[in-house]
Amino acid sequence: MQSSSESSRLIRLSFSLISDCYVVAIIFYWQWVNRPAMCGAWRYMLLIVIQPALCFESVRNPTTTYNTSLTHNITQVLNTILLNQDKTFRPLNPDPKIPLQVEVDISVRSMGPISEHQKEFSLDCYFRQKWLDHRLAFSPFGSRQDLPLASKMLKDIWTPDTYIRNGRHSYLHTLTVPNILFRVRYDGQVHVSQRLTIRTKCEMFFRKFPMDSQACPIEIGSLGYYSKDIVYVWKDVDLDSKMSNMLSQYQLLDVIKTSENISDPRFENLNMSVLKVYFKLQRQQGFYILQIYTPCTLIVVMSWVSFWINKEASPARVALGIMTVLSMSTLGFGSRSDLPKVSHSTALDIYVISCFGFVFAALVEYAVINYAYILYIQKKVHDLKGLDTTSAMEKMRIFSASLMGAGQGTIRGSLSLDIKTRPWYKRLFNRKQERHSVFYRMAVRAAKAKQKLRMKDPAYVVNRIDSASKIVFPTLYVLFNIAYWVAFLYYIPDEINSLI
């Protein structure tokens, strides 16, 4: 066994030396063949000698020979089909009445940014197109059914004039080379895939902002061919599994694909095939709840603190009211900086204006009670100016005391002392008689008169306003929040429903 392996190794070494010698002979041949003195007989003899070396080299490297042959065959096929190709005319179906079908597939890699100011959105995607061109058909090479070709060859064949109808600025990625995949199948099906960044306009609605939903479309069509020539059909719209995490303010809810024929305004009988895909986006509300809704609520609650401050502490209550009003103005009306200047009000505007109304009402409430308290002081001063003499003041004191129940207190005090000294059975027996006594009826009338005067007293009215505000303001604000959130979250429909 060892001797046989050594002999085979020697044979391979001998063949290698022989092939090297033939290579050297080839070099000398090409040097000598160009000499003027070289005659045709010598050239013919050298060719006879070198031919076995070429045959031996082919047997020695069969893979290289196969690849060379395959490349040669592919080159011949491409030359043949390109000679038969007229890129100025679209492919025709066996039935001329049937338009050419272009299949469109979009694979979205990322989305954003989405601009409310410009009303546009961007996405990065693989844009794929497939169509059938029988002029590019060829016989398959063994197991190979398609040919991957360089993107430069696209200029030598017919391609559909597809464009983004609502696009504003789109471009093809060219780093490090143009990002184009070009394949031709044996039956003539052409597959072109391009990596594009598409920026399109998006009609947005802000009446429910920031609880709004937007539907941003991409419209695909032919620039010059009508639907009788080319028809676009959807294959699929793929999304990256991490798409939801790539959008900071939006959440992707759904992708809706549609196809339609749009009439050309220049020609009544001609339509254009258009594909549309809507990306339905729901705005995330976390940012606005933390940055706007919560601070507005706290400012409104802070304005209620003035109801517990003494009405005579004017600097404290006025400063608190003005501070809350200015804070609401700065916080609420500065939140529209992210939105375009629309003429209608948004849901956020309604909430901010309502909170501003609550804060302003708290400030006005103090102005009302302060004015009522000033009237009360002026009335007291006017009454004191009318009392010139000591006797008049004494008479006024006695009259007011008897009217407001001072006499009642004396009578009831003596009665209560007398009642407490009597036994309990006498008190129980005489209670009914006491109610029918003259003094008891006088005391009751005096108490009612005092209550009526007290209800008309400005000081009492001021205290009642503050006490009522402590209950009315929080109750109304809670009811407003319930109605606001229920209406905008469940009952008011999205405006994009009219588009999709």
Say if residue 279 is in the same domain as residue 294: no
pTM for the model stands at: 0.69
Whether residue 86 lies inside any domain: the answer is: no
pLDDT category of residue 146 using cuts at 50, 70 and 90: confident
Whether residue 37 lies inside any domain: the answer is: no
76-100 per-position pLDDT tens digit: 666 766 666 778 888 888 777 889 9
For helices 314-333 and 294-303, angle between their N-to-C axes, nearest 10 degrees: 160
Say if residue 272 is in the same domain as residue 392: no
Instruction: Please work out, in degrees rounded to the nearest 5, the angle formed at the alpha carbon of residue 471 by the alpha carbons of 465 and 476.
Output: 110
Highest mean pLDDT among 15-29, 118-132, 305-319: 118-132
Whether residue 313 lies inside any domain: the answer is: yes
Say if residue 323 is in the same domain as residue 375: yes
Whether residue 94 lies inside any domain: the answer is: no
**CATH value at residue 352:** 1.20.58.390
Say if residue 452 is in the same domain as residue 469: no
Highest mean pLDDT among 21-30, 136-145, 474-483: 474-483
Return the structure tokens found at 82. 């390109």
Say if residue 154 is in the same domain as residue 54: no
Torsion angle of C-alpha atoms 189, 195, 197, 203, degrees rounded to 10:
30
107-140 per-position pLDDT tens digit: 999 888 898 888 999 999 999 999 998 888 888 7
Which of 237, 255, 284 is the last residue in one of the domains? Answer: 284
Say if residue 229 is in the same domain as residue 144: yes
**CATH value at residue 204:** 2.70.170.10
Q: Work out how many domains the chain is built from and give that number.
A: 4
| Cα(231)–Cα(213) distance, integer angstroms | 31
Confidence check: pLDDT of 467 > 90? no
pLDDT category of residue 25 using cuts at 50, 70 and 90: low
Say if residue 109 is in the same domain as residue 251: yes
Whether residue 95 lies inside any domain: the answer is: no
Q: What pLDDT is recorded for position 330?
A: 86
Q: Sheet with 213-222: list strands edge to edge.
A: 162-164, 213-222, 267-283, 250-264
| Whole-number average pLDDT of the chain | 76
Strands annotated E in 72-205: 100-115, 120-132, 146-149, 162-164, 167-172, 180-185, 189-201
188 CB burial (10 A radius; 0-12, 13-18, 19+): middle
Confidence check: pLDDT of 61 > 80? no
Confidence check: pLDDT of 176 > 90? no
Say if residue 280 is in the same domain as residue 297: no
Say if residue 172 is in the same domain as residue 243: yes
| Cα(273)–Cα(256) distance, integer angstroms | 17
Partners of 221 in the beta sheet?
163, 274
Which residues, 6+ apart, have CB-to-CB distance to 67 below 8 Å? none
**Residue range of the domain that includes 430:** 387-456
Say if residue 230 is in the same domain as residue 156: yes
| Cα(474)–Cα(494) distance, integer angstroms | 31
Confidence check: pLDDT of 414 > 50? no
Whether residue 246 lies inside any domain: the answer is: yes
Say if residue 361 is in the same domain as residue 237: no
Confidence check: pLDDT of 215 > 90? yes
Which residues, 6+ apart, have CB-to-CB distance to 185 below 8 Å? 145, 146, 191
pLDDT category of residue 273 using cuts at 50, 70 and 90: very high
Say if residue 149 is in the same domain as residue 205: yes
| Cα(438)–Cα(449) distance, integer angstroms | 17
Query: What does DSSP say about strands 146-149 and 180-185: parallel, antiparallel, or unpaired?
Result: antiparallel
| Cα(380)–Cα(291) distance, integer angstroms | 50
